[in-house]
Amino acid sequence: MSKANDINWHWRHFDTFTAREWHEVLRLRAEVFVVEQDCPYVDPDHKDGSSWHLCGHADGKLIATLRVVAPGVSYVEPSIGRVVTDINWRGEGLGHILMQHGLAFCRAEFGGGVRISAQAHLEGLYQSHGFRTVRGPYDEDGIPHLEMLLTF
């Protein structure tokens, strides 16, 4: 049986996090995006405060998260970003599970479609969820990215 069955998923708006809970989100994002990917950049940005965040916990520990940015902030469409899983949980399909939850949220709350800025090496993951590349590659913080769009 997959470890992914042991994950508790919860949507939270930024305004509902405690300082300790938000610290855990930033810690996981920094472990992967800054340290593991060796990409020094300022992760917390002006978009976090107006976003919805999906958090997956197992045994009381945050092991996966993403954020949904409302339409009109990054793009005309809503956007999914900061998709991240703990290194010890890789290979469990969490990237796909995160995207399924994120897309269902966007469909229910906003309709229309979703536009993302995806790391180029993950193009196949996003294509498997129906995204198509509309621009790129381009450099974002030293990593090749693609602009991708999914319409509902």
Q: Who contacts 124 (Cβ-Cβ below 8 Å, separation ≥6)?
A: none
| Residue 68: both structure tokens together | 């949904």
Strands 52-58 and 79-85, bridge-based pairing: unpaired
Cis peptide bond N-terminal to 137, omega within 30? yes
Contact 66, 79 (CB under 8 A): no
Average confidence (pLDDT) over 42-64: 94
Judge whether residue 1 has pLDDT over 60: no
Average confidence (pLDDT) over 110-139: 96
Number of neighbours of residue 128 by Cβ within 10 angstroms: 11
2 falls in which pLDDT band (50, 70, 90)? low
* Domains of the chain and CATH, by start: 3-151 (3.40.630.30)
Give the end-to-end CA distance of the chain in Å, rounded to a whole number: 32
Average confidence (pLDDT) over 48-69: 97
What DSSP element (H or E) covers 64? strand 61-69
Q: Would you say how long the chain is, in residues? A: 152
Determine the residue type at 89: W
Strands 79-85 and 132-140, bridge-based pairing: unpaired
Q: What is the overall mean pLDDT for the chain?
A: 94
How much of the chain, in percent, has pLDDT values that exceed 70?
98
H helical segments located in 48-151: 94-109, 123-127
pLDDT digits (tens, 9 = 90+) for 79-116: 999 999 999 999 999 999 999 999 999 999 999 999 99
pLDDT digits (tens, 9 = 90+) for 6-32: 899 999 999 999 999 999 999 999 999
149 falls in which pLDDT band (50, 70, 90)? very high
Closest CA to 128 of 98, 106, 88: 98
124 falls in which pLDDT band (50, 70, 90)? very high
